[in-house]
Amino acid sequence: EETENALANYHAQQARLIKLNDQARESKRAADIARLRYREGVVDFLSLLDAERTQLQAEDAVAESEKDVYVAVIALYKALGGVPS
């Protein structure tokens, strides 16, 4: 059961990371567009800052999720009896 739980957690963490990577890509795209629109005078500086803040939060979430995947791998190895020699 411990192995099944560890494997399920690993798969869940991988799926979460994929989703967060997609969100980070989209938020980068939105920030790039906001930067361009700011340079053209279409949006104000606060709109640009908000888009950049959202991008940084998304990138932070990806980094946190990557850590969670590594922790899940370690838990899976432990559940399987350790790292093979």
- In this predicted structure, the answer to whether residue 44 has a pLDDT above a threshold of 70 is yes
Q: Provide the CB-side half-sphere exposure for 20 (13 A, CA).
A: 20
Residue by residue, what is the 3-state secondary structure of the chain? Answer: CHHHHHHHHHHHHHHHHHHHHHHHHHHHHHHHHHHHHHHCCCCCHHHHHHHHHHHHHHHHHHHHHHHHHHHHHHHHHHHCCCCCC
Answer whether residue 83 shows pLDDT above 90: no
The ranges assigned to domains in the chain are: 2-79
Global pTM? Answer: 0.89
What's the rounded Cα separation, in Å, for the pair 85 and 81? Answer: 11
Q: What pLDDT, in 10s, does the model give residues 59-69?
A: 999 999 999 99
Mean per-residue pLDDT of the chain: 97
